[in-house]
Amino acid sequence: MPSTLPSSLLSTGGRVHALRSEISTALDVPFASRWRPGAAPVVWHSGVLRSVAQRLARPVIVGPGPLLSPYDTPGTGMASLRVDHAGHATCLGQVDTEALLRARTFGRNRFSRRTVEAISEALSGLADPSLILAEGAVAHSCARLRAFVMRVLAAHPDRTFLVAGSSGCADLSPSLSPHLRVIPSPVDPWALFEQVRQVFVDDWATACEARLAGCDVGRPGDMSAPPTTQELVVLRYGTGIHYFDPWTRAPIGFGDCLDRVAWLRDRFADNETRTVLVGISGWKRPVLDAFMVGPQGPPIHTMTAEDAVAAARAHQAQVRVWATRMPERLGPLCAEAGVPLARIEDGFLRSVGLGAGLAPGASIVVDDRGIYYDPRTESRLAFLLRTSTFPPDLVARAKALRELVIARRLTKYNVGLTDESGDWPRDRRIVLVPGQVEDDASVMHGSPVVRSNRDLLRAARARNPDAFLLYKPHPDVEAGFRTGAIPEAEALTLADRIVGGLSIVDLLDRVDHVETMTSLAGFEALIRGRTVAVHGRPFYAGWGLTEDLAPGADRGRRLALDELVAGALLLYPLYLDPVTLKPCSAERLLDRLAAARDAAGPSRLAMSRTGILTMRMRYALLNPLIRRLRAKRGVERFPDRKP
């Protein structure tokens, strides 16, 4: 460690406190809980403490780096930081400029795909304009930006100019000159570079991307030779810059950081159209907001179909609604107004803990055709599985993901205890019968003949008279939250053992066969190589992988197991890192779920006894009131259900 570095660091504000691990890693200096000799304050680059700290001490100045995802904040982690101290230096090494050109990231990367329209409108009628790039320090000071623009205008009085930047120029008046036009909203500078030949900058570090894009770059008043392209890259991405994984906050290399920021930028840009959400419970909103935020802003929450359609029309937005909480009037109103509508539901790798216990979900599906558990209408998942051509690289990824799910011993909810007694018979076929919530939509709409846990147990015993039959109550039913309980004595007249509270993974490891209506346990059994008989029509039935017992189950196409996995776990869902609330890949979510499950330890329901009693009271007392309020808004769980 260079002798000029401090012996320890002091946090001076909330942003610094949130980024302590990254700053400490960058400098290899620990943070102290209180001041001691040799300690140096760490101050944010634009904070009010900076000037004070510079007079009283030799502070470490920290600010955002050049690579940031749209989701980065000090609280959730930042992909890059600039850390300035006299005794500290970093070396970027060889930079892959081709990678920079491919990724084309800039600033926070919160740009709308409509950027090109704004640029074309601003450039309309201008002949060969030059760009005054509002980036770096000038972008955060109206006075400094105005002075910079005036210098450029004075140096080139006969030229026409466009002023724009990734943070916007809302406070700059175009009346400064008749030769000047201003784009007040943030725009992607890469899209600007395609429209101009010359770019003027206030700081050479902000000229890097313009040079890479092939523009001539100038700095008014600077008579020295312009830096080379490699020198500009080092100024922009090297000196004092440290790179971190946007999800784990671990230090990573420049190239890896560039790839991950570009991935997050593209995911953010996918939400180009603003979203209106209808009737979303308060505990679900933070997660859904993170899924739906985009260049036009965060989602708008409404409670009625009429308000949702009105907000969608006002903001040129799309409507999204939780599938089982959809107001009956919403579909017709959206169709009449020409507003896009889609349903939301939990994905198949969800959480550690139950949704009925208010554990937030880390995956969702957004379905603009139907919903996966209701076979009466072809869902987006069924459409994907029926029509997609699965390329080899996607199938290989699906196979690797399936094997990782098995190795990590993960399921949808990741609850349950381990039965290590090992006293199950070795000379009989072991059959698992997973119970379900009987008033769940997947049972009501997806299992036309066998529609109760009693009927399922009877059918399973009739089909497997000599088997050792295990009955596993659904966790929500076992907790007393939902309907579908069978008295133990009655269940044991058909089943050999009740295995409530046990982990579904441990059970699937030891059984030979599964009999189910529409339970996801059937899919989880398939990916673990077990045979599955299906009495209903779940999404995984009808493709030649299950024994299909319900009428009309055949889909008219045969799929390989990993093609089914590709559709169900890669193409259909969206995933969110539950720690940082940033979109992530399925593989990254597996890491989080495994870590959370291991940290929580074995548990029947991942809830305390007090938590279970509280939720039972909620379902018994509060939920009837909520259902009445929803009915007033036109929400009926099964509007076409026969009495």
Structural domains in the chain, sorted by start? 1-93+238-263 (no CATH), 111-235 (3.40.50), 268-387 (3.40.50), 392-607 (3.40.50)
Helix (H) / strand (E) containing 118: helix 115-123
Nearest one of 574, 562, 590 to 396, comparing CA atoms: 562
> CB atoms < 10 A from the CB of 389, how many?
6
Which pLDDT value is given to residue 521?
Answer: 95
- How far is CA 571 from each of CA 196, 237, 325, 563, rounded to the nearest angstrom? 39, 34, 24, 10
Look up residue 76 and give its two tokens. Answer: 């959730």
> CB atoms < 10 A from the CB of 120, how many?
11
The packing angle between helices 586-600 and 392-408, to 10°, is 0
Which pLDDT value is given to residue 107?
Answer: 86
Q: Where are the alpha helices (DSSP H) in 464-581?
A: 475-478, 488-491, 504-510, 520-526, 561-565
Lowest mean per-residue pLDDT among 32-41, 242-251, 540-549: 32-41
- Percent of the chain beyond pLDDT 70? 88
Lowest mean per-residue pLDDT among 72-86, 336-350, 373-387, 395-409: 72-86
Q: Where are the alpha helices (DSSP H) in 254-329?
A: 254-269, 285-292, 305-315
Which pLDDT value is given to residue 620?
Answer: 57
**For residue 429, how far is the Cα from the chain centroid?**
42
**pLDDT tens digits for 469-478?**
999 998 777 7
Helix (H) / strand (E) containing 600: helix 586-600
| Overall average pLDDT of the 323-350 stretch | 95
Nearest one of 80, 82, 57, 62 to 6, comparing CA atoms: 57
Assign 363 to helix, strand or coil.
strand
Which pLDDT value is given to residue 639?
Answer: 43
Residue carrying the six token digits 């330890």? 601
Residues in the chain: 643
Cα atoms found within 13 Å of the Cα of residue 97, Cβ hemisphere only: 15
Which pLDDT value is given to residue 333?
Answer: 97
Look up residue 42 and give its two tokens. Answer: 């760490």
DSSP classification of residue 89 = -
| Overall average pLDDT of the 465-472 stretch | 95
Nearest one of 261, 235, 353 to 68, comparing CA atoms: 261
Which pLDDT value is given to residue 1?
Answer: 40
Report the C-alpha gap between 613 and 617 in whole angstroms: 6
Which pLDDT value is given to residue 618?
Answer: 57
- How far is CA 475 from each of CA 15, 437, 472, 557, 592, rounded to the nearest angstrom? 41, 9, 9, 33, 22
Which pLDDT value is given to residue 601?
Answer: 72
Burial class (CB in 10 A: 0-12, 13-18, 19+), 225: exposed
Which pLDDT value is given to residue 7?
Answer: 87
Do 392 and 460 form a contact (C-beta atoms < 8 A)? no
Q: Terminus-to-terminus CA distance in the chain, angstroms?
A: 76
What's the pTM? 0.89
- How far is CA 264 from each of CA 67, 105, 188, 612, rounded to the nearest angstrom? 11, 10, 15, 37
**pLDDT tens digits for 127-174?**
889 999 999 888 888 899 999 999 999 999 889 999 999 988 888 888
- How far is CA 156 from each of CA 143, 179, 488, rounded to the nearest angstrom? 20, 10, 88
pLDDT class of 573 with cuts at 50, 70, 90: very high
Which pLDDT value is given to residue 54?
Answer: 62
Which pLDDT value is given to residue 642?
Answer: 33
Look up residue 558 and give its two tokens. Answer: 């045969």
| Overall average pLDDT of the 9-27 stretch | 93
Do 23 and 6 form a contact (C-beta atoms < 8 A)? no
Side chain identity at residue 108, one-letter code: R
Torsion of CA 479, 485, 491, 497, to 10 degrees: -20
**pLDDT tens digits for 590-643?**
999 999 988 877 665 555 566 556 655 655 555 566 556 656 666 555 444 332
| Overall average pLDDT of the 492-497 stretch | 93
Mean pLDDT of all residues in the chain?
Answer: 88
Report the C-alpha gap between 576 and 565 in whole angstroms: 19
Do 210 and 218 form a contact (C-beta atoms < 8 A)? no
Which pLDDT value is given to residue 177?
Answer: 85
- How far is CA 150 from each of CA 64, 182, 220, 267, rounded to the nearest angstrom? 28, 13, 10, 38
Which pLDDT value is given to residue 637?
Answer: 52
Nearest one of 217, 258, 235 to 101, comparing CA atoms: 258
- How far is CA 334 from each of CA 23, 233, 278, 328, rounded to the nearest angstrom? 49, 49, 12, 11
Do 405 and 570 form a contact (C-beta atoms < 8 A)? no
Report the C-alpha gap between 73 and 61 in whole angstroms: 17
**For residue 404, how far is the Cα from the chain centroid?**
20
Residue carrying the six token digits 């709409």? 445
pLDDT class of 53 with cuts at 50, 70, 90: low
Report the C-alpha gap between 206 and 398 in whole angstroms: 41
Look up residue 134 and give its two tokens. Answer: 């509002």
CB under 8 Å, gap of 24 or more: what pairs does 587-593 form? 587/401, 587/404, 588/247, 589/349, 589/362, 589/363, 590/349, 590/401, 590/404, 590/405, 590/408, 590/410, 592/362, 593/349, 593/351, 593/352, 593/362, 593/408, 593/410, 593/414
Residue with the bigger pLDDT between 413 and 76: it is 76
| Overall average pLDDT of the 100-110 stretch | 90
Torsion of CA 571, 577, 580, 583, to 10 degrees: 0
Residue with the bigger pLDDT between 120 and 153: it is 153
| Overall average pLDDT of the 35-40 stretch | 83
Q: Where are the alpha helices (DSSP H) in 200-284?
A: 208-212, 229-237, 254-269
